[in-house]
Amino acid sequence: MSEPSPQIVAHRELRSSSIDRVLTGIKPTGTPHLGNYVGAIRPAILSSRLPNVESFYFLADYHALAGSADPTRVHRSTLEVAASWLALGLDPDVAHFYRQSDIPEVTELTWLLACVAPKGLLNRAHAYKAAVDQNCERGDDEDAGIEMGLYLYPVLMAADILLFNAHRVPVGKDQIQHIEIARDLAQRFNHRYGEILTLPEAQIDETTATLPGTDGRKMSKSYDNVIPLFASPKALREAIFAIVTNSQLPGEAKDPESSSLFALYQAFASADETAAMRAAYAAGIAWGEAKQRVFERIDQEIAPARARFDALMAAPEAIEAILQRGAMSLRPRAQELLKRMRDAVGLRPLTATHNSGKRSDKKAKGPRIVQYKEGAQFFFKLQDADGEVLLVGPAYAEARDAGAAIAGFLKGEMAPELQALIDAAPNRAAIEAARVALIDS
C-alpha cells in the first residue's frame, strides 16, 4: 500500500492537534468587581493559556447599546473592562482580544441570520418574554417600550459566536438558551444553503465560584453590594470591614460554611491558607481579625494588577492599539466566511455562474495546497478558490520536509524561511484567510 501524501499527513497532524475554538463576550456595562474576577475573568484567562485552545475575547459594545441611553457610560466602561482584562494577565499575543464594533462583518452576519430566524423562536427568548410579561402585569400593550435591540439580541449574539466558528462558549446557566438559539440558526442556515456554519456548544462550569457581596447575597450590581475590583487599598479594606457578620464574640467557635466572609477568603486563598482560616474559625477568631486577613489576602493578589490597571487607564491609546490589532488580525477570517455565505444566499457578482438558488449537495470549492517537484527539489503552493496562486513555499530536499512545512503552515507554526515569505507578501490577508478556510474545511 502506498504511503499517504504529505498533504494528507499534514491534515491528519492538524486534526490530531484538535484546535478548540472558545469564544467569550464581555459586555461593558460598568466597573468590574471581585465577583466578575473570581467567576469569569480569572478562569477565562487561565483557559486562554491551555494548549490547543484558540481563545476569542471581545468587548460586546453593540450589546451594551440594548437598553442603554448613556453613551458616556458605554465608552467609559469599555475602557475599564479592556484595561481590567489586560491588567489581570490576558495576553493579546496568545488570545484574540477585540472590540465587537470594530468587525463590521458581525452586523452583516446578524442580518443573514435574522433572515432565517423564526419569529416564534425569538418570542421565546427569556429577556424578551420577561419584558412582555411585565407589560402584561401592568396592563400595558405587550410590546410597550420594547425595542428591537432587545428582541434581536439573541441573533446578534449568535452572529458573534458563529462568525469565527466557535466550538465552545462558556456561559452561566441563564445564558444556555442563547447558545441553543445560535445552534438553531446555524442549523437552519446550513439546511437551506449548505454546511457552512459550525454548531457551538455551551460550556457550563459547575465549579465556578459565586462570591457573596457585602450583605451576604450574591455579589451583584443589582443588589448594590459589590466590591470594585480595583478599589484602592483603603476603599477595599472599608468594603470588607462593612461585610455583615453575626454577633458571635471573640473566642466563640464560628461556622465557616455559613460565613460569607470565609467564602470570600476561600475564593482567593490556597488550600493550606483555607485550612488555616478554617482552624482559626474553630478557635474563635474575632470578626475584626478575620476581616483583616481577608483584606490582606485579596489585596495581595489584586495589588500588582491594580498598578497595571492604573497605568493602562492612563494610556488609552495603548489599549486602542491592542484592540485594533486584534480586529485587523481577525477580519480576513470574518470576510472569508461572509464571502462564502453571501455566495450561498445569492449575493454574488452578476458575472458569476447563475444557479437556481437551490441548495447544492456538492462541496463548495475552496482554497487548496498543491505540492509538486521541480528537478530534485520539492515545493508547495497555496491557491485560492479560483486557482490563483497566493503563496509559493521555499524549496525542500525531501517530500517529507515539504509535508512538515505544510502541517506547520496549517497550524500557524511557520518555519522562519516560510514566515519571511509570508511577511514579504503583499497579500498577507488573503493568505491568512485561505489558511483559516483550510482549517475550517
Cα distances from 132 to residues 129, 136, 157, in angstroms, run 5, 6, 20
Share of the chain above pLDDT 70, in %: 91
Spatial CB neighbours of 204, under 8 Å, sequence gap ≥ 6: 170, 171, 172, 173, 176
- Neighbour-count burial for 293-332, b at 16+ CB within 10 Å, e otherwise: bbbebbbeebeebbebbeebbeeeeebeebbeebbeebbb
What's the DSSP call for residue 175?
A: G
Q: What is the pLDDT of residue 208?
A: 64
Lowest mean pLDDT across 6-10, 34-38, 41-45, 144-148: 6-10
Walk me through the domains of the chain, giving residue ranges and CATH numbers. Answer: 19-198+315-338 (3.40.50.620), 221-301 (1.10.240.10), 367-440 (no CATH)
Band (377; pLDDT cuts 50, 70, 90): confident
354 pLDDT more than 60: no
- What pTM was computed for the model? 0.75
Q: Which phi and psi angles does 392 have, rounded to 5°?
A: -120, 125
283 pLDDT more than 70: yes
Q: What is the pLDDT of residue 372?
A: 81
Secondary element (H or E) of residue 80: helix 71-87
Residue 365 or residue 37, greater confidence:
37
Band (318; pLDDT cuts 50, 70, 90): very high
Per the listing, cell 469599555 goes with 78
Q: What is the pLDDT of residue 180?
A: 95
Average pLDDT estimate for 308-336 = 97
222 pLDDT more than 60: yes
3-state secondary structure (DSSP) of residue 70: coil
The mean of the pLDDT values for the chain is: 89
Q: What is the pLDDT of residue 408?
A: 86
d(CA 169, CA 171): 6
Q: What is the pLDDT of residue 426?
A: 81
8 pLDDT more than 50: no
Q: What is the pLDDT of residue 16?
A: 38
